[in-house]
Amino acid sequence: MPGLIIIAQCPRVWGHYQFITPHVHTVNLRTPPCSALISSHQVALLTCSRLISGCTSSPFIVGYRRGTYQIPSLTFSTNTMSDQDALTPRVFLVRHGETEWAKSGRFTGITDIQLTETGATQVSSAATTLVGPRKLLDPFRLVHVFVSPRTRAITTFKLLMGPFSSVIVGKVTRTEDIAEWNYGDYEGYTDQEIRSLRKEKGLDLEKEWNIWRDGCEGGESSKQVTDRLDRLISQIKVIQRPYMKGDEPADVLLVAHGLIHRCFVKRWLGFPIDFDLQMMFAPGAIAVLSYKNNDIDKPALHVGVALPPSDEDTVKEWYAVSFGAGALAVVTAAVLVLVLALVLV
C-alpha cells in the first residue's frame, strides 16, 4: 500500500501564493511539497490552519504531477479580517490607465484620449487583485462614486467595476469637479516644451514655472482648481458624516487623473495645492484616504490599509461555494481521509 502522508501544518514558504476569491486559493509551486516523500502514486492530505490572516482552511488534496503544481483549497471565513479603522468611511482614488499622451509625458486635460492596451491591462489587473467582496475596494461598501467625464476615466471605471457594476447603479456621478486640470494653452505639450514656450514670452525670469502655483495660460488657475476640489470634498463629507461611527459601510470612490488626484490629496489634508508634498500616482493605481479617530473634522491619509470585515450574506450572492461553519470542514476532512484510505488499500 502506498504511503498516506498527513502534514499537520503548512510549510512557511512553498512558492508564489495567488489570491483568487474569498473562498478559492491556489499556490503555484516551483517544487512539489515534501517532494522527497511523495511519489507519482502517492497523495498527501494537508491541513493549513491559518493560510491567510482571518481565514481557516479545510484539509485539501494535493495531486502530484510533473511541472507546475497547484493546491486548491476551500477556505472558511472566521469574520476576523479587520482592524479598528476598517469601519471608518474611506475615500478611494483611482487613476485611469495609461494613454499615449501620458506615456509620452504630454499634458492631457480636456482632450479625450482612449486607454492604450497597456492601460486597460493595468486597470483590469488592479480590479482582479483589489476589487470585490472582502478585497481592498469592496463595491458593496460604496455609497457613492464620482467619475471624471473624460473617456479615459469612464473606461477605467467600467473596467474596474466589471461584474460588480450592478451593485452601484444609481450611485455614480460624472462631474467636472474631479476632471483633470484644464491646461489651456499648454494642452498636449510636455513639461520642457511648456517651460521653453513661457521663456520665449518673457515669463519665469526669476522663478521657474510651477503649475501648482502659476496655473496655466488659457486654462485653470490654482485657485479655480482649489475651489472645485473643496466643493467636492464638502459634498463627500455630507455623504459620509452620518456614517462616522462605522455602523454601516460608507466608502466613496473617485476615478480620475494623476495631477487632479494629487491636488485632491493636498486639499483633503488641508494643504494648499502648491504645498511641496512629493507624491507618485502610477496609471491604474489606487490610493486611500480616510478620517483619524472616526472624526469628520480630521481627514487623513490612510497609510497601511486593512481589509474590511466580511459580509457573509453579500459574499454568498457572488460565490456559489460558501461554507458557514468550521464543523463542516472537519466532516469533509474525515470523509476525504476515509475515501483515500479505501482507494489506496
243 is in an annotated binding site: no
By the 8 A CB rule, do 59 and 47 touch?
yes
Q: Is 183 annotated as a binding residue?
A: yes
96 is catalytic: yes
Is 152 annotated in a binding site? The answer is yes
Nearest to 212 by CA among 267, 162, 160, 148: 267
- Out of 180, 220, 257, 261, pick the active-site residue: 180
Task: Choose the catalytic residue: 25, 96, 144, 261.
Answer: 96
d(Cα 265, Cα 183) in Å, to the nearest integer?
Answer: 19
- Is 181 known as a binding-site position? yes
Measured CA to CA, the distance from residue 16 to residue 215 in angstroms comes to 47
CA distance 198 to 57: 63
Contact present, 158 and 152 (Cβ < 8 Å)? no
Examine the residue annotation and report whether 200 is marked as an active-site residue of this protein: no
| 108 annotated to a ligand binding site | yes
- Is 109 annotated among the ligand-binding residues? yes
Residue 128 labeled ligand binder: no
Q: Which residues are annotated as a binding site for substrate?
A: 108-109, 152, 180-183
Active site residues: 96, 180
Q: Which residues are annotated as a binding site?
A: 108-109, 152, 180-183
